[in-house]
Amino acid sequence: MFEILILLVVFVIGFYVGESVFAYRIRHLIYKEAKLQGILIDLNEGAKPTIDKLFVECANDMMYLYEYEANTFICQGKTLGELARLAQKYKNIQYAIVEHNKEMLVFVDGSVKEKNES
């Protein structure tokens, strides 16, 4: 009876190992064929974007954009849209939460979104 139990356990372990190896080989062949066909497959689908925390100071008709935690200067401009474009251009900031006059704004890909916009 004990021998049957051992054979059953070995069979189950072998089944799962074989299934994993088979899945790996199929995935490898699909990626290889896609690469030969020129199809790009993004393996980092679950990567989360970084969201920077920034704040704006206004002085003499100019706006200055700073990082919130490090208090370092990023760029300057006359409008919030210009700040968003310059932050994306010079510091590669794609997503940011920005405090301006006690209001929270969002920079998304070089444009300004209000807090309640979709």
62 and 108 fall within a common domain: yes
- 8 A C-beta contact, residue 75 and residue 85: no
8 and 37 fall within a common domain: yes
Dmax of the chain from CA atoms?
89
Over the chain (118 residues), the average pLDDT of each successive run of 10 is: 89 92 86 77 68 90 90 91 90 88 86 68
Whole-structure pTM value: 0.57
20 and 55 fall within a common domain: no
107 and 64 fall within a common domain: yes
78 and 38 fall within a common domain: no
The predicted pLDDT at position 103 comes to: 86
Q: How many domains does the chain have?
A: 2
57 and 31 fall within a common domain: no
How far apart CA 100 and CA 83 sit, in angstroms, is: 12
8 and 58 fall within a common domain: no
The predicted pLDDT at position 30 comes to: 81
32 and 2 fall within a common domain: yes
The predicted pLDDT at position 34 comes to: 78
Percentage of residues in the chain with pLDDT exceeding 70? 90
85 and 109 fall within a common domain: yes
The predicted pLDDT at position 66 comes to: 93
36 and 73 fall within a common domain: no
Q: Which domain holds residue 33?
A: 1-43
The predicted pLDDT at position 27 comes to: 85
- Give the amino acid at 44: N
How far apart CA 13 and CA 105 sit, in angstroms, is: 54
